[in-house]
Structure 1
Amino acid sequence: MMRLVICLLVLSSVVLGEKGDASVEVDDGIDEVEATVETVEDISYVTPTLPPGSSVHMAEHFDNLASFKKKWIKSEAKKEGIDEDIAKYDGLWEVEAAERDPLKGDLGLVLKSKAKHSAIAAKLDRPFVFGERPLVVQYEVLHQSGQECGGAYLKLLSVDKQSADLRQLHDKTPYTIMFGPDKCGNDYKLHFIFRHKNPLNGTVTEKHCKKPKERLDEPFTDKTPHLYTLILRPDNTFQIYLDHKVVNEGSLLEDFTPSVNPQAEIDDPADIKPTDWDEREKIPDADARKPDDWDEDAPQYIPDPSATKPTGWLDDEPPNIPDPTAEKPSDWDEEIDGEWEAPLVNNPACEEAPGCGEWKP
């Protein structure tokens, strides 16, 4: 069984999204409208609490600003290998209500900055060690201003000296699991990556989950909350849910690239192609002989002698006719472009007929 130790939780990008202002004016041409007003009872929001003795390693609702400031640490690191003026993790995080249809008292973590490196982290109540119990990671994401290019994924950090100081959290900080949505342009992803340590040589390799079969674009555009859930089970299987619907599942050992368990056999790297190797897979049969009754002058197909022309066939109507609505372009030069001819369109007279033009069986 694969044993992984996890100690920290990182929220690496948009949770609620960036704020933006929009102004829309609409004139529907209606002078008077009879309005009907319905009274909707307010929904009372209550901050969720854990029952006594809960085995949850972290539960965060962001409803307590004082607790948030004490628990969550913003990264002050710099990303390596890029220009100094854009290297710093200086994205602005706030705790506030959703812009659209908020419930009183229901707050969330909002990334306010656009096109900036952003990371924020908090420690789990205690490390998680894989054993006989499943790991469940679940959180809600709202792209309240849509999403152009960026991720809203979580990272569960590995127990490591580099992850001890969360203020120095950056993209190269060792993690054990990465999970969540990501989008850039028309490329939509739902990441599930884990880092696996080879028990023989100690090397650590990222294992990328197979792509989900479901469409994943709607959560990035509909500006409504969506619930993402990852379940890892002791039998080395996993399930990924989007809004309580399974969108991906499989084996931790077989459904990742590269595979955790290597192939039993591989191509011999020292093997070379023999000098007399023939690339042709098939050749003409040297023993084959032409049949005595073979007729080389006869066609492969002949008209069906039993076929008859369908009733209503329009022999004198061509299948296509010049477009009667087409006009010669004003800049058409017959000396250069030649004689102008209208483009052909389907003959409307043939739409109801079984066919047009010369009939052939």
Structure 2
Amino acid sequence: MDGARTSDTSFERIWEVEEPNRGVEKGNLGLVLKSKAKHAAISKRLDKPFIFDDKPLIVQYEVIFQDNQICGGAYLKLLSVDPKHKDLRDFHDKTPYTIMFGPDKCGNDQKLHFIFRHKNPLNGSFEEKHAKKPKERLEEIFQDKQPHLYTLIVKPDNTFVIKVDDNVVNEGSLLDDFTPPVNPPLEIEDPEDKRPKDWDDREKIPDPTAVKPDDWDEDAPAQIVDEDNEAPDGWLENEPPFIPDPNSVKPEDWDEDTDGEWEPSKIENPKCKDAPGCGPYQKKLISNPQYKGKWLPPLINNPNYQGKWKPRLIHNPNYYNDQQPFKMTPIYAVGFELWSMSPDMLFDNIIVTDDELVAKTWAEDTFEIRKQRISRESETWWGKMRRMMNYKPGWWFAYLIYCSIPVCIYICFLISRAREPEDTKESQNDDEAEAEAEALIQKEKDADLEKDEEATEKDKAEETIEELEDKEESETEEIIPDEQGESSGKAEGPRRRKPNKE
């Protein structure tokens, strides 16, 4: 396709021609939309314009949502022949088209568009006609990342068929299965017709002869107290459900003039924990058998009923009867004018023809071969691994390498320790033995020192005891007289301790 740029820079250089991410076919290239959340437009002129005459129109192309599809379209526009829009470099969202066909999704709303612009034969204006929704579910084609083939066949007998992967998902008539319909109604409601003021469309009315019974009490309550209802056994009627918290303390900054009288916070009464309830017992309410509510008279058929009013029908001034909607505006080019939240949408094998056999053969030589190769590749071990890795093996390998870095570092450390020289290990062992010997010697020295200190302290204690005994003897000794009763300055006999006086 020839790239079509506009003055809007958001349309520039966001298309690439490259292989699918899931490259099962080397050298098989496709048109890839690389942008995300940007408008993109690209178009290609047909070899010759297609004129809607007596041959069918077949539009067929492949789409691969390689990164799923969150929100955006992948539809193809068949551009109308228009003298004002000949230059494809000005292709944009306002460029007139004849048919828009293809998938579209946003959130949970999945669509397969078939829209054609019908020309009003009376005034020449155009109006979009939307095909009914397919009955088939379309979620899978936006999520499985597989190539899918979309085919539209519009026939001169005003019928259409839409296929996905050669399976019919929608079909019908251009005259009957589009909204709004191709032809307007013959009659329409008169917009100037007004409903008469005396028109009575009430089918039922209150009986004017009905009288309220004398015993009808409109003021009776709907519910009354059940007097037979008694408190359950164990109900503590004299115990309050909540009591003041004994641990609650009045704040120091509490000002009764401004804050009011302080009250401790409440806690649940612990006596009520195992009881069915506490406090005054409230009897249950029951339906009041005397309750009747507001009295209303019964309804009867309205004798003046005139039915539902509708404005009268008049001839539609815009009525026309186009029995050949197939004869649309000729087309001269095809193009993608898209916006998507998912990049890397791939388009391939686009064909516009008037021969169904040509389209079918083209699909067999391209799409079917690709599907077969993908199927065979999926059955291999590597194919199953790629499917488990969501067809992004590069990211998984990078993650594996990232996680293996600390493991490799630890293994290298162990290997380096294992490869250290033996003499280094022996010297380390000798150093360790020498250190142990020194520690043992130091321990013995410390033990001897402790013994010497204990002996010294013991000797000091004995000397202290002897000094105390000598002092006591010196205080109590006295001279003993000799046999003649004479005393001398010195005692000639042995000294004796004077007995203590008690």
TM-score normalized with structure 2 length = 0.40
Which of the two has higher C-alpha Rg? 2
Are 2:82 and 1:160 aligned? yes
What stretches of structure 2 of length at least 5 have no aligned partner? Answer: 209-265, 274-502
1:96, 1:109 within 8 Å by CA — same for their partners in 2?
A: yes
What stretches of structure 1 of length at least 5 have no aligned partner? Answer: 1-70, 79-86, 287-332, 341-361
2-structure distance, mates of 1:160, 1:260: 22
Which residue of structure 2 lines up, in the alignment, with residue 97 of structure 1?
A: 19
1-structure distance, mates of 2:170, 2:207: 50
Are 2:149 and 1:219 aligned? no
Are 2:125 and 1:199 aligned? no
Which residue of structure 2 lines up, in the alignment, with residue 140 of structure 1?
A: 62
1:237, 1:251 within 8 Å by CA — same for their partners in 2?
A: yes
Which residue of structure 1 lines up, in the alignment, with residue 34 of structure 2?
A: 112
1-structure distance, mates of 2:11, 2:36: 12
1-structure distance, mates of 2:47, 2:97: 17
Q: CA distance change for structure 1 residues 278 and 190 in 2, over 3 Å: closer, same or farther?
A: same
Match of 2:185 among 259, 263, 280: 263
Which residue of structure 2 lines up, in the alignment, with residue 126 of structure 1?
A: 48
Are 2:157 and 1:253 aligned? no
Higher helix share: 2
Which residue of structure 2 lines up, in the alignment, with residue 76 of structure 1?
A: 6
Q: CA distance change for structure 1 residues 175 and 334 in 2, over 3 Å: closer, same or farther?
A: farther
Q: CA distance change for structure 1 residues 246 and 282 in 2, over 3 Å: closer, same or farther?
A: farther
Q: CA distance change for structure 1 residues 103 and 268 in 2, over 3 Å: closer, same or farther?
A: same
1:94, 1:112 within 8 Å by CA — same for their partners in 2?
A: yes
Compute the displacement of 1:197 (Å): 1.0
Partner secondary structure for residue 25 of structure 2: coil
Partner secondary structure for residue 114 of structure 2: strand
Match of 2:194 among 260, 266, 272: 272
TM-score normalized with structure 1 length = 0.55
Q: CA distance change for structure 1 residues 258 and 334 in 2, over 3 Å: closer, same or farther?
A: farther
Compute the displacement of 1:280 (Å): 2.3
Code of the aligned partner of 2:140? E
Code of the aligned partner of 1:73? G
2-structure distance, mates of 1:91, 1:150: 19
Compute the displacement of 1:196 (Å): 1.1
Q: CA distance change for structure 1 residues 264 and 245 in 2, over 3 Å: closer, same or farther?
A: same
Compute the displacement of 1:245 (Å): 1.3
Taking only aligned residues, the RMSD between alpha carbons, in angstroms, comes to 2.5
Compute the displacement of 1:282 (Å): 4.5
Q: CA distance change for structure 1 residues 254 and 334 in 2, over 3 Å: closer, same or farther?
A: farther
1:91, 1:119 within 8 Å by CA — same for their partners in 2?
A: no
Which residue of structure 2 lines up, in the alignment, with residue 13 of structure 1?
A: none
Q: CA distance change for structure 1 residues 167 and 278 in 2, over 3 Å: closer, same or farther?
A: same
Code of the aligned partner of 1:256? F
Q: CA distance change for structure 1 residues 103 and 275 in 2, over 3 Å: closer, same or farther?
A: same
Which residue of structure 2 lines up, in the alignment, with residue 175 of structure 1?
A: 97
Compute the displacement of 1:224 (Å): 0.3
Partner secondary structure for residue 88 of structure 1: helix
Aligned identity (percent) is 66
Compute the displacement of 1:124 (Å): 0.4
Compute the displacement of 1:88 (Å): 3.0
2-structure distance, mates of 1:247, 1:269: 40
Which residue of structure 2 lines up, in the alignment, with residue 318 of structure 1?
A: none
Compute the displacement of 1:129 (Å): 0.5
Partner secondary structure for residue 200 of structure 2: coil
2-structure distance, mates of 1:148, 1:265: 44
1:75, 1:167 within 8 Å by CA — same for their partners in 2?
A: yes
2-structure distance, mates of 1:217, 1:105: 30
1:136, 1:229 within 8 Å by CA — same for their partners in 2?
A: yes
Are 2:153 and 1:231 aligned? yes
Match of 2:108 among 167, 174, 186: 186
Compute the displacement of 1:214 (Å): 1.3
1:182, 1:191 within 8 Å by CA — same for their partners in 2?
A: yes
1:77, 1:167 within 8 Å by CA — same for their partners in 2?
A: no
Partner secondary structure for residue 219 of structure 1: helix
Compute the displacement of 1:91 (Å): 5.2
**Structure of greater relative contact order (alpha carbons < 8 Å, 6+ residues apart):** 2
CA deviation profile, 1:97-120 (whole Å, cap 9, x unmatched): 111142112111111111111011
Structural mapping, 1:301-316, within 5 Å: none
Partner secondary structure for residue 187 of structure 2: coil
Report how many aligned residue pairs link the two structures. Answer: 215
Q: CA distance change for structure 1 residues 180 and 334 in 2, over 3 Å: closer, same or farther?
A: farther
Code of the aligned partner of 1:265? E
Code of the aligned partner of 1:269? P
Q: CA distance change for structure 1 residues 226 and 334 in 2, over 3 Å: closer, same or farther?
A: farther
Compute the displacement of 1:160 (Å): 1.1
Code of the aligned partner of 2:124? G
1:157, 1:163 within 8 Å by CA — same for their partners in 2?
A: no
Code of the aligned partner of 1:251? S
CA deviation profile, 1:179-205 (whole Å, cap 9, x unmatched): 001111221111111111111111111
2-structure distance, mates of 1:158, 1:234: 18
2-structure distance, mates of 1:273, 1:166: 55
